[in-house]
A and B are shown apart, each in its own frame.
Chain A
């Protein structure tokens, strides 16, 4: 290489540096503008939320921990009594300490404490809805996947249908069915299942679109029907991922069924809402404890099982 050759190259590397600087400057400007828009939006939102709230942020801030005063029970063992339905010496006939009223007798003197029974209802709602969601989402997702769909118009229709199910507010379905079937957990099951079909279906078809198509080609080459291709080529590849997503959905559904319970679906959510609104400290703590332990246990169990099914960090948590 001669000196004369390197001269234009030096110039061009100067040009490269210059244009690189320009690109960086423009990107910085966009980032800065984005952050500014975000900041303005944030300040505006805070002011809007503060104005339309019943109590204002800075007025209420000193009282933020007031609820601790009613939450802390006079007698800490009341929390255990509330949890296990043991009669409390503080019981003066009101609703605050009538722990032994709610016992659900199973066999002779053996009983399930009321809150455990409610937790079982809430958990069963979540489990049944996840199973129903899974059963319906699997065939729908095969119809909606680009690479395995039987026909393209069907794929679009199924995709839109699942989008609709996902976006439809759960409480409306719960409200409609509690007006028809009377208030209770069945309305919650229907509401959560329908949402679950949409949510699982989307995750599922994304998994299916990423399968290795060579096994499908093999099945096709021997003249397999659509059902056989799905069953023998795709399903073995995607089933671990499906199970893993279903477990993730189970975690979400336990929370959802608690919330739907609070707005009239029965179960532990309703009891918690009542107990907080009436200011029953011991009962509230017992319910929060039970709910916390259950959700924590479900989360940890499903995380463990998912690790066994699809390995460490195979995907990120998605709703």
Chain B
């Protein structure tokens, strides 16, 4: 290893002054940027009142909403009138019209046991007392005094109020004991009635039963095959609305497809006019470039809102909005691509005496078409995502359905279903366009 002495170091410093004596700005630019980012961060925290929003946020809802994505609950009420206990289920219970679930047990001593999660988290009740069991503890609730009372010490999972006693059994559910009734909320993992809703004659039947009904069973509805009935019941499932969701998803894809392809067709010739190496008039170049900028800057949202007013809500409005924005975006991309081409093939074709159109066809097109198609595919992908969002303002597609499902704050399982479908579609198109791109450009993409 060699060492350099002071004179050598000086000579290096003399030879490369730009490395050792950089300007003040260059030396401190990173530091200044970090400081300004930090100051902007403080400003943003103040501007959006972030601490206030966080402290006022309903954080307890996060768990509830997220658990609703993958689970559903069943509510039941048990009226305690003398010796008889009558279970009541709400009208649109996921259990159907006449449920007789096996987690509700009639005991021989006229009491009833409802298992929230197996026998370890359960409630047993008669008209005089209720026994809550959870976390290895048992709590007795006295009902005879006209209001529920708990004797002894109260564990943390039980809350005693004036009118009722509430036992929180975690994710599995909740038991609410009142003087004359017991209310149960029991949570099940999964999506309820995903295939047939309780109104369907196929409800509650196993896969094998349904298949045998469809293939060999007697006609359930006269004049209609069981297969057609099952298909109809499935597509018009009241809770999941498969048919409607699929049609809306197809609309979103079609909106993106129509908008992108129309934009590509329109912007392709215009890009030749906007590229300064192909059309020599500066005025024409600039005016088309500014026109593309205009279309992009007006923004998809504004176009969507206008066309929703013009055509009425639906995919036509969305397609038109994507078309105009996309003409601007693709026009910009295409003209930039054209300006980056190699001029030699053009000169070669020109030297053979070919006319203007032929020069473009054989001198320019072979260079730019693969890049153009690959960029167009990128845009189609990103427009599928864009179309989902502008759908929410009424421009058609799955966006509005998604937004409506979220607004009620109850149908999070439907949101999860639609998100899953959207993710699936995006991934499928991602891989299709990746495959097409790598074939066009010739090198493997990521």
Interface code A85-108, partner B: CB below 8 Å = 1, 0 otherwise?
000000000000000000000000
B314 touches A288 (CB 8 A): no
Residues of B within 8 A of A263 (CB): 389, 392-393, 403
Stretch at the interface among B10-18, B115-123, B332-340, B345-353: B332-340
Residues of B within 8 A of A299 (CB): 293, 296-297
B377 to chain A, nearest CB (A): 11
- Cβ of A41 under 8 Å from chain B: yes
CA distance A76 to B436 in the complex (A): 51
B310 is contacted by which of A42, A63, A121, A292 (Cβ under 8 Å)? A63
A295 is contacted by which of B258, B299, B407, B426 (Cβ under 8 Å)? B299
- Cβ of B32 under 8 Å from chain A: no
Stretch at the interface among B59-67, B90-98, B208-216, B230-238: B59-67
Interface code A158-177, partner B: CB below 8 Å = 1, 0 otherwise?
00000110011111100110
Stretch at the interface among B73-81, B179-187, B249-257: B249-257
CA distance A184 to B48 in the complex (A): 9
CA distance A41 to B261 in the complex (A): 10
B313 touches A169 (CB 8 A): no
- Cβ of A238 under 8 Å from chain B: no
CA distance A269 to B235 in the complex (A): 35
Residues of A within 8 A of B298 (CB): 288, 292
A171 touches B339 (CB 8 A): no
B50 to chain A, nearest CB (A): 7
B315 touches A53 (CB 8 A): yes
Stretch at the interface among B148-156, B163-171, B300-308: B300-308
Interface code B366-391, partner A: CB below 8 Å = 1, 0 otherwise?
00000100010011011001001110
CA distance A66 to B385 in the complex (A): 30
Chain A's closest residue to B340 (CB) is A313
B340 touches A169 (CB 8 A): no
B53 touches A168 (CB 8 A): no
B188 to chain A, nearest CB (A): 22
- Cβ of A38 under 8 Å from chain B: yes
- Cβ of B309 under 8 Å from chain A: yes
- Cβ of A304 under 8 Å from chain B: no
Residues of B within 8 A of A319 (CB): 378-379, 381-382
B316 touches A124 (CB 8 A): no
- Cβ of A318 under 8 Å from chain B: yes
- Interface residue total, chain B, C-beta cutoff 8 A: 79
CA distance A167 to B421 in the complex (A): 11
- Cβ of A181 under 8 Å from chain B: yes
**A124-B47, A259-B390 known; A272+B54 contact, CB < 8 A:** no
B251 is contacted by which of A52, A175, A176, A260 (Cβ under 8 Å)? A52
Instruction: Point out which of A57, A182, A319 has the most chain B C-beta atoms below 10 A from its C-beta.
Output: A319
B302 is contacted by which of A124, A131, A288, A300 (Cβ under 8 Å)? A288
- Cβ of B319 under 8 Å from chain A: yes
A169 touches B336 (CB 8 A): no
CA distance A121 to B423 in the complex (A): 30
A259 touches B300 (CB 8 A): yes
Instruction: Label chain B's interface by main secondary structure.
Output: helix
- Cβ of B317 under 8 Å from chain A: yes
CA distance A118 to B219 in the complex (A): 62
A54 touches B313 (CB 8 A): yes
B422 is contacted by which of A42, A54, A169, A272 (Cβ under 8 Å)? A169
CA distance A181 to B430 in the complex (A): 33
Instruction: Label chain A's interface by main secondary structure.
Output: helix
Residues of B within 8 A of A127 (CB): 40, 44
A258 touches B312 (CB 8 A): no
- Cβ of B399 under 8 Å from chain A: yes
Interface code B266-295, partner A: CB below 8 Å = 1, 0 otherwise?
000000000000000000000000000110
- Cβ of A219 under 8 Å from chain B: no
- Cβ of A214 under 8 Å from chain B: no
Interface code B411-443, partner A: CB below 8 Å = 1, 0 otherwise?
000010001001100110010000000000000
A186 touches B53 (CB 8 A): yes
CA distance A204 to B49 in the complex (A): 31
Instruction: Point out which of B62, B254, B340, B419 has the most chain A C-beta atoms below 10 A from its C-beta.
Output: B254
B302 touches A316 (CB 8 A): no
CA distance A259 to B392 in the complex (A): 9
B305 touches A273 (CB 8 A): yes
**A49-B315, A52-B314, A185-B48 known; A255+B301 contact, CB < 8 A:** yes
**A128-B44, A259-B300, A273-B305 known; A171+B315 contact, CB < 8 A:** no
CA distance A317 to B374 in the complex (A): 12
- Cβ of B363 under 8 Å from chain A: no
Residues of A within 8 A of B296 (CB): 295, 299
CA distance A313 to B396 in the complex (A): 36
B378 is contacted by which of A63, A128, A169, A318 (Cβ under 8 Å)? A318
CA distance A306 to B325 in the complex (A): 22
Residues of B within 8 A of A171 (CB): 388-389, 392, 399, 402-403, 406
- Cβ of A50 under 8 Å from chain B: yes
A167 touches B406 (CB 8 A): no
A273 touches B339 (CB 8 A): no
- Cβ of A3 under 8 Å from chain B: no
- Cβ of A8 under 8 Å from chain B: no
Residues of B within 8 A of A128 (CB): 44, 48
B91 to chain A, nearest CB (A): 26
**A185-B48, A262-B301, A263-B403 known; A167+B255 contact, CB < 8 A:** no
A213 to chain B, nearest CB (A): 18
CA distance A256 to B300 in the complex (A): 9
- Cβ of B247 under 8 Å from chain A: yes
B317 touches A53 (CB 8 A): yes
Residues of A within 8 A of B371 (CB): 316
A196 to chain B, nearest CB (A): 13
CA distance A317 to B263 in the complex (A): 16
A49 is contacted by which of B255, B297, B390 (Cβ under 8 Å)? B255
Within residues 235 to 258 of chain A, which ones have a CB less than 8 A from any CB in chain B? 255-256, 258
- Cβ of B162 under 8 Å from chain A: no
Interchain residue pairs with CB less than 8 A apart (9)? A41-B257, A124-B48, A175-B403, A258-B299, A259-B299, A262-B393, A272-B302, A288-B302, A296-B293
A-B interface, 9 closest residue pairs, ranked by CB to CB distance from nearest: A53-B314, A54-B312, A55-B312, A175-B406, A319-B382, A53-B316, A49-B315, A167-B426, A263-B392
With A46-B258, A171-B403, A316-B336 known, 8 other A-B pairs at CB within 8 A are: A45-B258, A48-B250, A49-B258, A179-B58, A185-B48, A255-B301, A263-B389, A263-B403
